[in-house]
Structure 1
Amino acid sequence: MATLFCAAAATSCRLAFPLAVPAPAPGLGRGRARRGTVAVRAEAGTGINPAIRKEEAKVVDTVLAGELSKPLTPYCRCWRSGTFPLCDGSHVKHNKATGDNVGPLLVKK
């Protein structure tokens, strides 16, 4: 289960979820996977959502998995997509410009 942590100014968020990490070398640990976090950051002072549906108090989208037209549907998590809430690959340019590592949320039917 994922947990989203955001700073008060909402310029930095972390999405924490179980993350498998390779087992340590023999003799250095018990060999179990460890849990970790993945950090996703917006540029300082710009917030995470630069322009999408700013007239709404909170942008929330719900899609029932049974209504998906494709077996695998990518959803935008960088807020740069021209087809929001669907991913159009805009995160690639965003990642190169900011050093971020955000990618889409893939939903399987």
Structure 2
Amino acid sequence: MKFLIAALSIAQAFAFSVIGANTRPISTQLHAAADYVPKEGEGKINLLIDLESPKVANMEEMSSGKKVFCRCWLSGTFPLCDGTHVKHNAACGDNVGPLIVTVKSE
């Protein structure tokens, strides 16, 4: 399960990689382009969560059930989603949503 969540996190980071029409990455998104080096603070996504930490990492254990994880970095219950992305999407026309992980009981 831990491997699955780590793999999903990596896939999520690459899913947010956006290259503009002029081949320069859009500054408000994560960048996977190997040659792109952002300026200090440019493209920062996390403006609220554990800012003094060099890396924000969360571990969740599940034996069954469902958890809904934030991908917009705006949730007041981060790393869990509180639906804040709905207001963000309405304000700017974005389409971000949560990561929903379910574990079926055997």
> TM-score normalized by structure 2?
0.59
Aligned to 1:89: 83
Q: Which is strand-richer, 1 or 2? A: 1
Check the 8 A contact 1:82/1:88 in 2, yes or no. yes
Pair 1:60–1:9, CA change in 2 (3 A): farther
Where 1:72 maps in the other structure, the secondary structure is strand
Rate the CA distance shift 1:59–1:95 in 2: closer, same or farther, 3 A.
Answer: same
* 2:105 is equivalent to residue 105 of structure 1: no
Equivalent residue for 1:62? 59
Paired residue total? 77
> Equivalent of 1:50, from 47, 51, 57?
47
- Which has the higher Rg, Structure 1 or Structure 2? 1
What's 2:13 paired with?
Answer: 4
Conserved in 2, the CA contact under 8 Å of 1:11 and 1:47? yes
Once the two structures are aligned, what percentage of the paired residues are identical? Answer: 47
Gaps of 5+ in 1: 16-44
2:13 partner SS: strand
Please state whether the residue corresponding to 1:13 is helix, strand or coil: coil
Aligned residues: CA RMSD:
2.9
